Amino acid sequence: MDQNVIKVENLVKYFDGRCVLDGIDLKVPRGCIYGLLGRNGSGKTTIIRILLGLEPPTRGQTFLLDADSTELSARLHSRIGYVAEGHNLIQSYRVGRLIKLCKDLSLQWNDEFFNHLIETFRLPADRKVKELSIGMRAQLNLALAMAIDPELLIFDDPTLGLDTVARRQFLELAIELIQQQGRTILFCSHILGDVERIADKIGILAAGKLVVDCPLEELKERVKKLRVIFPESAPANLHLTEIINQQNQGREMVITVANWNKQKQTALETFKPSSCTEIPMSLEDIFIECTKPNPKPIKS
Amino acid sequence: MQFRIDNASDRPVYQQIIDQIKRDIALGRLIKNEKLPTVRQLAGQIAINPNTIAKAYRQLEQEGIIVTKAGAGAFVANLDSSLSRSVRKKLISEELERIAVEAFHMQIDERTLLEWFNNAVAKFNLPSKKG
Amino acid sequence: MFALIKREIQDHIVYFIGAAVFAVFFIIMSISILHNYNPRHGPPVFAILIGVPAVTIVIFGIGAMGATQMYLDKTRKISALLSTLATSRNRILLARIIAGILAILTLLVPLTIAAVILMRFFTILIPIPMFPGMVFEISVVVFLMAFACYCIGLQTGWNSNPVTPSLGALFLTCIFVPLILIKGFGVHIVVILVLFIIASLLRTWHTFMKTSL
């Protein structure tokens, strides 16, 4: 059995002649919580839909639990839980009927756990799905996904529409799940705070490419933003590798660099700057830097 | 134990946990040989990835701040005995150097810096001499 | 599998009810025609005036069922959900086709049984020559015709509204009925229909497998 639960190999996707994914390579090992970030329309949902076989790729291959995404068997589907912004539930059905359908079409169903979740979320069984609020649909979706006791959970913006308490409940559920051996989670979110709390590895999608793909704890150590002031005008080219962003204004240069080390420090010092301060970066800052146009990749 | 994770901070989450545990110990909120929550418990309590907490605990153990006993869990170390002086010197000196660099960039003079330092020391009731 | 079929039937119960209603309607009509049949009065004009539109509606309905099943799936994103559960696109499509076949049988089985019974009672009156197995042969061809109409609906329903494919079903009938009248209910017709059905189903299967949900 492969160590990697999710494998994406050179994935390319075009929609109506527009390139959305431009050669994505990604591996998620077993037991990992992978947080996939990116701006709206960056292709996160597309990657997930291709992984689940809902969308065919233009080029390249994706694998879930060692099986090609275009050939996922019923048994494999039963090991995967999928939660997306409420839009993959059948809106015209009543909640009760939807639950029965999902239960009948599952290979294993943890009734006790499911009922516990339904009670915690206070979801009504007799209303139609389309009459529920976005948040309640998200919670229903989550409960249905968790009830099958999945090995792999794929979340696409799972906390959209959830209030603060519900979001916290979701995080705690995710943590509880990951404490059980061998579970893997792939999730996309816009709420960086949540991602920072629970992700092991992080990926940032920008301009159709995965510009960041490394363990979260290393990210802040690896990416440095420096404010450098030169005695005369700032040089245009520092001959440094892995510059994510560079802005020169007169004598001042603000530069964001990946994998900062002594060599780069020495290289910078050859230009004899008068001062060099580090600007602290939160995950949000790093995200914004990496999603500006023309980012350079940071890989582990 | 209460933890506050600052998402706007430039310190990684595991580092923030380490900082807060050290702070609690220094402030007397955690005492010698006190049992810390398990990784599992803490992960569920504050909704943080258990691997992150495990990493924090591992590093704290490496630095000698906590000890883990097989089957029993993690405990605040008996601080006097476990850390050797050279290790302590290394850790504190690194922190002091960081502060000195910050002060340089902020153009704080030595005297002001020492004054502020003494204020900080007073806040935490450090004994004036090891006796 | 059973759950999938049950779901299809529940969602499209109106077609099953319609099939049952029309079956009863045709049986009653046949009984009344045969009961009042008088060879001296010529062919039963009244029956034809009612019968032809009724049959047209039925053909339209069969095509519509196939089209509606696919159309509603696409608009309500039903397969989008189902395909993430413990099933596969193959099974979803198969369940759909089985439901369609069951609806057609709901219409045709009562009619066939009624025809057999009525023929026992009214042999003298029916002007056309009969032979053993006639009912069986006719029912097979009728079933295949109906199934072919259903398949057109199924094939085109995914990419268009429910009405157009149903018209296509009527068009198909207009081609096949003269063919039957010319060639009779023989093996030739069966072969042509079976080939048509296989081609149509293969196209449907291919589209459904490759489409994005």
Say if residue B83's pLDDT is above 60: no
Query: What residues of chain A have any CB closer than 8 angstroms to a CB in chain C?
Result: 49, 52-56, 72-75, 77-78, 80, 82, 87-92, 101-102, 104-107, 148
Question: Is B23 a member of any domain?
Answer: yes
Average pLDDT over every residue of C32-48? 74
> B74 with B88, same domain?
no
Predicted interface score ipTM higher than 0.90: no
Q: What is the pLDDT of residue A91?
A: 87
pLDDT exceeds cutoff 80 at B68: yes
| Topology given in CATH for the domain delimited by A4-199 | Rossmann fold (3.40.50)
Assess whether pLDDT exceeds 70 at residue C175: yes
Give the integer Cα–Cα distance in Å for C149 and C58. Answer: 10
Same domain, B47 and B97: no
Q: For residues C119-155, b (16+ Cβ closer than 10 Å) or e, as one string?
A: eeeeeeeeeeeeeeeeeebebbbbbbbbbbbbbbbbb
Q: Is residue B129 part of a domain?
A: no
Whether B57 is in a domain gets the answer yes
pLDDT at A62: 95
Chains B and C touch (3+ CB pairs under 8 A): no
B68 and B97 in a single domain? The answer is: no
Domain span at residue B114 reads 84-123
pLDDT per residue as tens digits for the range B6-23: 888 888 899 999 988 888
Neighbours of B70 (CB within 10 A): 5
Q: Do A104 and C3 touch (CB under 8 A)?
A: yes
The rounded distance, in Å, linking the Cα atoms of B67 and A102 is 48
Q: Do B43 and B30 reside in the same domain of the chain?
A: yes
- Kindly report the CATH number assigned to the domain that includes residue B17: 1.10.10.10
B12 in helix, strand or coil? Answer: coil
Q: Is A214 helix (H, G, I), strand (E, B) or coil?
A: strand
Shared domain check, B94 and B115 = yes
Higher pLDDT, B125 or B24: B24
Confidence of residue B87 (pLDDT cuts 50, 70, 90): low
Question: A282–B5: do the CB atoms touch at under 8 Å?
Answer: no
pLDDT (tens digit, 9 = 90+) per residue, C125-138?
555 666 667 778 88
Q: Do B44 and B71 fall into the same domain? A: yes
Q: How far apart are CA A244 and CA A264, in angstroms?
A: 14
Residue B128 domain-assigned (yes or no) = no
Q: Is the pLDDT score of B82 beyond 60?
A: no
Q: How many domains does the structure of chain B reveal?
A: 2
Task: Kindly indicate the confidence band of residue B86, based on its pLDDT and cuts at 50, 70 and 90.
Answer: low
Tell me, yes or no, whether B5 lies in a domain. no
Average pLDDT over residues B61-74: 86
- B17 and B68 part of one domain: yes
> Do B23 and B47 belong to one domain?
yes
Count CA atoms within 13 Å of residue B123 on its CB side. 9
* pLDDT of res. C174: 80
Write down the pLDDT at residue A275: 86
B56 shares its domain with B100: no
Where in chain A are the domains?
4-199, 219-299
Does the CB of A8 have a partner CB in chain B at under 8 Å?
A: no
Q: Does A172 touch chain B (CB under 8 A)?
A: yes
List the one residue out of A37, A29, A33 whose CA is nearest residue A6.
Answer: A29
- Band (B81; pLDDT cuts 50, 70, 90): very low
Task: For residues B65 and B106, state if they share a domain.
Answer: no
User: Which of C2, C3, C213 minimises the CB distance to A54?
Assistant: C213
Mean pLDDT, residues B17-43: 85
pLDDT, position A86: 56
Mean pLDDT of all residues belonging to chain B: 83
Sheet with A152-156: strands ordered across: A80-84, A152-156, A184-188, A33-38, A201-206, A209-215, A298-299
Per-residue pLDDT for C39 more than 90?
A: no
Q: Does B116 lie in the same domain as B62? A: no
Between C186 and A42, name the one with better pLDDT. Answer: A42
β-bridge partners, A156: A84, A188
Query: pLDDT at position A53, please?
Result: 92
Q: Which residues of chain A have pLDDT under 50?
A: none
| Lowest-pLDDT choice from A102-111, A224-233, B27-36, C165-174 | C165-174
Same domain, B96 and B116: yes
Q: Which residues, numbered 79 to 98 in chain C, qualify as contacts with chain A under a Cβ-Cβ cut-off of 8 Å? A: 80-88, 91
* Within a domain: B68: yes
| Average pLDDT of chain C, as a whole number | 86
